[in-house]
Structure 1
Amino acid sequence: MFHRIRRRRAAETSELQHRSYEAYQRMAGQVPPEVERLRTTQQPTEPAPAVDDFLPPELRVPSHDQLDGRMMPWTQPIILDGEVVACAECGAYRDWLILSTRDQIWLRCRQGHQQRETRLDTAWYNRHAGPADAHHATFEDCLRHLGH
């Protein structure tokens, strides 16, 4: 009994598909009259002049390839693997500058001691860094800008 129902449904489906395909074939070459009317009323225009759509130089931001590195302030303690990261020389554990350069992350304490942090990577830095608010020509200018 169920095989008869399945055959009947399959036949109904194929008939519906066949009718849909025939309707599609009839409409395939037709164009709506509104489109034809618009084509006849439109006049060919001159091509638009090529315009430099790039930002002016003062608004352009250098790409990561053009920068020697980036840095951001980090006032909270950094906890990695359940351990508070402290400066190896003075023991400071907060108020860091985090430097990202050449796919390495460096931590700089307020006293100016720097240590490489291998447990952090550039992806971590990119997730936590906000947009750059300034670009500096030298490392010292950047330190001054960030108050270190």
Structure 2
Amino acid sequence: MFHRIRRRANGPTEAQRRFAELSARLHNQVPPGLEVPAAEPRAVVDDFLPPELRVPSHDQVDGKMMPWKQPLVLDGEMVACAECGAYRDWLILSTRDQIWLRCRADHQQQETRLDTAWYNRNSGPADATHDTFEDCLRHLGH
């Protein structure tokens, strides 16, 4: 056992020396068949979605709205329309960092207890975009 340890301490073996020489000769060489092809000019391709499939960014949209069928309870109080008393089937609108509630009778009131962060937490993904406010109301059945 001690004989083997002393033999290693004497220097590299013949096999280790041959391997080191071969490695030095092959350094930076490419094996045959793996030559790197010359770079050919490529045509520039727009890999972004076509315009009809793009979703507008938040700064390109005037506002967002979502339906809210159930009663809306804030701070332990059920929210009701200030004009007609409706308390369910709201459209919740988020625009210019304000939240507005719209009842079935088309009355609108600002809700200061809600903010954009609340809207973003409770809204799902947008299923459509519309050019006008009226188009969006029709889409949501109002």
TM-score (norm 2): 0.74
Looking at structure 2, the residues matched to 140 and 93 of structure 1 have their Cα atoms a distance apart, in angstroms, of 23
Letter in 1 for 2:74: L
Q: Does 1:114 align with 2:114?
A: no
The structural deviation recorded for 1:34 is 8.9
Percent identity, aligned pairs only, is 74
Q: Does 1:73 align with 2:67?
A: yes
TM-score (norm 1): 0.71
Alignment map for 1:57-72 (pairs within 5 Å): 57-72=51-66
The structural deviation recorded for 1:37 is 2.6
- Hey, what does 2:132 align to over in structure 1? 138
The structural deviation recorded for 1:127 is 1.3
- Hey, what does 1:26 align to over in structure 2? none
The structural deviation recorded for 1:91 is 1.1
- Hey, what does 1:3 align to over in structure 2? none
* Structure 1 gap ranges (5+): 1-29
Q: Structure 1 residue aligned with 2:86, among 73, 88, 92?
A: 92
Higher helix share: 1
The structural deviation recorded for 1:47 is 4.2
Indicate the SS of the match to 1:37: coil
Letter in 2 for 1:50: V
- Hey, what does 1:55 align to over in structure 2? 49
* Structure 2 gap ranges (5+): 1-22
Aligned pair count reads: 118
Looking at structure 2, the residues matched to 123 and 91 of structure 1 have their Cα atoms a distance apart, in angstroms, of 26
Looking at structure 1, the residues matched to 140 and 28 of structure 2 have their Cα atoms a distance apart, in angstroms, of 61
Work out which of the two has the higher radius of gyration on C-alpha atoms and give 1 or 2. 2
The structural deviation recorded for 1:119 is 0.8
Runs of 4+ in 1 over 3 A off after TM superposition: 33-36
Indicate the SS of the match to 2:109: strand
The structural deviation recorded for 1:48 is 3.2
